[in-house]
Amino acid sequence: MGNTTKALTKGYAIGSAALAAFLLFRAYLDEVEKVTRVPVSVDLTRVPNFIGALLGAMLVFVFSALAIRAVGRAAALVIQEVRRQFSSRPGIMLGTERPDYARCVDIVTRGALKEMVLPGLLAVLMPLAVGVIFKRFSASSGHPGAEAVAAFLMVGTIGGILLATTMNNGGGAWDNAKKYIETGAYGGKGSDAHKAAVTGDTVGDPLKDTAGPSLHVLIKLLSTITLVAAPLFL
């Protein structure tokens, strides 16, 4: 019940992110039009715009992959620490000695902060790089930098909304499948179905709890950055 409710609330969260991104996208186009005094349209048949759109879609998947990899790395470090404590302090398994919980919390906290540096830099630098590079090197007429960033933002937002929705609901479904099998369905715990469901849940948890919610932030961040940096692309 909790996973289902959480998946539904994340649907509302991505909906609010989409609405905010749409409003900020319109504000970006208005800002560009205000400076250039020329109406701006995003024509994907123009090479700079098409490349910008492709980079926007790519960023969503690279960002998600980095977030998922961060979860895997932090989990591996926690497993190593737990095994170390079990081997060095046998009383933990006997219930006579208290584990060092603070050490595991410290590992996870440090890992979360460290591993999100690269995704955060990508989210900030990619739209700036697209706008400045196409402004400087594109031979297209008009304002290729501003238009390429608009295409980048448009397709990145669309891809982020769809991927976040898929991750939120797919991850919750995998988690629920494991819990359902543990009630005794399909052979219950220890069965091949349960082993497969555990594997699915191992993939599903990073999707619904890390990568999916992170895309909400990415969508809003891209819109905000492009709006603030719009004069750099003209």
Q: Based on the number of CB atoms within 10 Å of its own CB, is 204 exposed (0-12), middle (13-18) or buried (19 or more)?
A: buried
Mean pLDDT of 29-53: 88
Residue 15's pLDDT is: 85
Confidence of residue 51 (pLDDT cuts 50, 70, 90): very high
Confidence of residue 96 (pLDDT cuts 50, 70, 90): confident
Are the C-beta atoms of 195 and 137 separated by less than 8 Å?
A: no
Question: From CA 117, how far away is CA 115, in angstroms rounded?
Answer: 6
Mean pLDDT of the chain: 89
HSE (CB half, 13 Å, CA atoms) of 51? 14
Residue 138's pLDDT is: 77
Mean pLDDT of 72-78: 90
Are the C-beta atoms of 52 and 131 separated by less than 8 Å?
A: no
Domain boundaries, the chain: 2-64+119-233
Sequence-ordered strand ranges (E) for the chain: none
DSSP 8-state assignment for residue 46: S
Q: pLDDT tens-digit profile of 119-170?
A: 989 999 999 999 999 988 877 777 888 999 999 999 999 999 999 989 988 8
Ramachandran area for residue 184 (φ above 0: left; ψ -120 to 50: alpha; else beta): left
